[in-house]
Amino acid sequence: MTNIYIRELSFQYQNRQILDHINLQFNAERFSVLLGKNGSGKSTLFNLMAGIYPLQQGQILFETQPLQVLKGTQRAKQFGFLAQNHHSVFNFQVLDVVLTGRSAFSGYKPSSTDQDQAFDALKSLDIQHLAQRDYTTLSGGERQLVMIARILTQNPKVIFLDEPTNHLDMYYQAFLMEKLQHLSQQGYTIVAIMHDPNLAFLYADDFFFLKQQQIIKADNKDQATCPIHLQQVYGLAFEQGFVAGEPMVMPKKNTST
């Protein structure tokens, strides 16, 4: 079990304040989602949690371990990170791409156990038929699932996902969200940035919103889906409805024109 604690986190870029004294906690064995307008600092926060950007002010703790003391294999055991964009110019086979998730543990010579873990990760996402395909020939959605399989092969305690449903059709959006929900129930700590609030509301446990460099945490799903709350976050009027008992939101149509 790994809780993530963020304390007094601030970050500037070119004299622009991106995050300002952020304090929050992502709970272990929960599927947490971060929502907000484009440019609100969501990806910056993720890059800081993943150690891609250096800390300027504040702390990020994985339980009691500060992020900066985690190196190499320790970091790989603690968390996996899926960036919003990932590109490869090499014609690696899919299975070899997924096997790179074991590189921190096995170096340049993956074992038969590593091979089995990689194939099991592909199988868990129902894409084992892609194992021998060249990665560069895949669709955007297929590549997204392959990179998630790579993280699962790494077997971290925490999984960070920046827009995991990018490029996925409706079937795979639902498939992946159900998988992430199931992984959190199996003991993983899942934290994802998402643009579609309705997908988040259907599958996630906890909801955080970024607005003007600050975090707004919804205490429950009722608050998260409240049109007044969402208008404060997005600066846009919303309407709420219910489908099969689940709250759904949509922008309020302007009927004055």
Q: Domain boundaries in the chain?
A: 4-251
| Residue 233 exposed, middle or buried by CB count within 10 Å (0-12, 13-18, 19+) | buried
Phi-psi group of 97: left, alpha or beta (phi > 0 → left; psi -120 to 50 → alpha; rest → beta)? alpha
Structure confidence by residue, pLDDT tens digits, 64-97: 999 999 988 888 889 999 987 666 656 799 999 9
CATH fold for the domain made of 4-251: Rossmann fold (3.40.50)
Which CA distances in Å does 194 have to 74, 135, 182?
27, 25, 18
Average pLDDT on 101-105 reads 86
Mean pLDDT of the chain: 90
More reliable by pLDDT, 125 or 256: 125
Which CA distances in Å does 238 have to 33, 40, 230, 234, 235?
19, 19, 7, 9, 10
Tokens representing 70?
């985690």
Please indicate, yes or no, whether the overall pTM of this predicted structure exceeds 0.85: yes
pLDDT confidence tier of residue 150, bands split at 50, 70 and 90: very high
> What are residue 193's DSSP bridge partners?
34, 162
